[in-house]
A and B are shown apart, each in its own frame.
Chain A
Amino acid sequence: MKTPRDILFARHENVEPKLDAIRLSVARELNNKETREQSFQEFFASLFLGCSKNFWDELIFPCRRIWTGLAAIWILIFVVNLSQRDPAEMMARKSPPPSPEMIMAFRQQEKLLAELIGSNEPRIAEPPKTFSPRPSSERRFETLMT
């Protein structure tokens, strides 16, 4: 009596030399640089995917409600923060800096206004008084004389 496995293997025993030849030819393929590189690439890709899956399975998925709650709170904080900003500040931030033409026009207007008021002569600044240090007793004498 034989098992099915025995019968099946016995039927194909004669093909073993051909299989040995295939095995040797594949061994040559093993030394192929391209094959090795591809194997390494797949190994790292698999490692990355495995880590990502573990990260998801162990850290995110079991506490998914907590993570969802945290995300909702963060979104709420962001929205509240955005809505409470000063609109003038926002506008000031948004408005571009004045151009040189605008600055020139502004100065001309300032000059025109000054002419209209009547003080078109430029003020002559009084020269600063020269200060010569003297002893305090001399100053008191001067006061008494006057």
Chain B
Amino acid sequence: MLAVATAEQLPVQQAREGNPEAWDTLFRRYQLPLYVYVFELAHNEQTSLDIVQETFIAAIRHIGGLRDDEKFGGWLFGIAHQKVIQLWRKHGGKEILFDEIPEPPDEFENSPDDLLIRREQEIEFMNLLNQLPSPQRSVLLLHFVENFSLEEIAHITETQIGTVKSRLHYAKRALRKLLEEKK
């Protein structure tokens, strides 16, 4: 499992001052999670690599706009998310903008590891993930890949916390249902 570094360990301030080593550390830390997130939404290797590169360049250019260093990860994923949306818009995709789902129940599991998948279920898991509507898939990926909080996911995807909660709940429920059926 990839060790998730805490925000305090990340040299964001040094990166802000233009330290190349600090940027290298930050990019090394986020390159694979960002790629995974973008690829699972874009489904194209070259496009995903391009988006990761553009995200890194945009991060260097706009680091001055980041106020809270502890939110660097969410901020970086927010840039990547916007670039994915631009890509969808370019290809005429509208689903990210329009999805109406009901409010989730009060009980809510907020751990990315509450779903454990057996080796023989991995393919089914990935198939189902790809069948989910893009908004739900996006929220679920952010939850799985970086364990972002509901507030952070809402900030990255520029949606309401209630919407994020609903999307996450129904996506997880769909996954769990499938995994139970396949047992």
Partner among B32, B62, B122, B144 whose Cβ is within 8 Å of the Cβ of A19? B32
User: Contacts A6-B1, A8-B40, A19-B35: A27 and B115 contacting too (C-beta < 8 A)?
Assistant: no
Inside 8 A of A8's CB, which chain B residues have their CB?
A: 36, 40, 141, 144-145
Closest to A29 in B: B57
Closest to A13 in B: B32
A43-B69 Cα distance, complex, nearest whole Å: 13
Q: How close is B64's CB to chain A, nearest CB, in angstroms?
A: 3
Q: Are A12 and B32 in contact (CB under 8 A)?
A: yes
Residue of A27, A36, A41 with most partner-chain B CB within 10 A: A27
- Asked whether any CB of chain A lies closer than 8 Å to the CB of B27, the reply is yes
A20-B32 Cα distance, complex, nearest whole Å: 10
A27-B167 Cα distance, complex, nearest whole Å: 37
Q: Are A19 and B49 in contact (CB under 8 A)?
A: yes
User: Contacts A42-B62, A42-B64: A2 and B117 contacting too (C-beta < 8 A)?
Assistant: yes
Q: Are A5 and B145 in contact (CB under 8 A)?
A: yes
Partner among A2, A26, A42, A45 whose Cβ is within 8 Å of the Cβ of B122? A2
A40-B18 Cα distance, complex, nearest whole Å: 10
Inside 8 A of B33's CB, which chain A residues have their CB?
A: 9
B123-151, CB < 8 A from A:
125-126, 141, 144-145, 147
Inside 8 A of B24's CB, which chain A residues have their CB?
A: 23, 27
A44-B63 Cα distance, complex, nearest whole Å: 11
- Asked whether any CB of chain A lies closer than 8 Å to the CB of B77, the reply is no
User: Contacts A4-B115, A8-B36: A39 and B61 contacting too (C-beta < 8 A)?
Assistant: yes
- Asked whether any CB of chain B lies closer than 8 Å to the CB of A3, the reply is yes
A19-B45 Cα distance, complex, nearest whole Å: 11
- Asked whether any CB of chain A lies closer than 8 Å to the CB of B119, the reply is yes
A6-B33 Cα distance, complex, nearest whole Å: 11
Q: Are B20 and A42 in contact (CB under 8 A)?
A: no
- Asked whether any CB of chain A lies closer than 8 Å to the CB of B183, the reply is no
- Asked whether any CB of chain A lies closer than 8 Å to the CB of B101, the reply is no
- Asked whether any CB of chain A lies closer than 8 Å to the CB of B92, the reply is no
Partner among B28, B64, B141 whose Cβ is within 8 Å of the Cβ of A23? B28
Q: Are B53 and A39 in contact (CB under 8 A)?
A: no
User: A residues near B, CB below 8 A?
Assistant: 1-9, 11-13, 15-16, 18-20, 22-23, 25-27, 29-31, 35-36, 38-46, 50
30 pairs across A/B with beta carbons < 8 Å? A2-B118, A3-B112, A3-B113, A3-B117, A4-B115, A5-B1, A5-B2, A7-B125, A8-B36, A8-B145, A9-B32, A9-B33, A9-B36, A12-B35, A16-B32, A19-B52, A22-B31, A22-B49, A23-B24, A25-B53, A29-B57, A29-B60, A31-B20, A38-B61, A39-B60, A39-B62, A39-B63, A42-B64, A45-B64, A45-B65
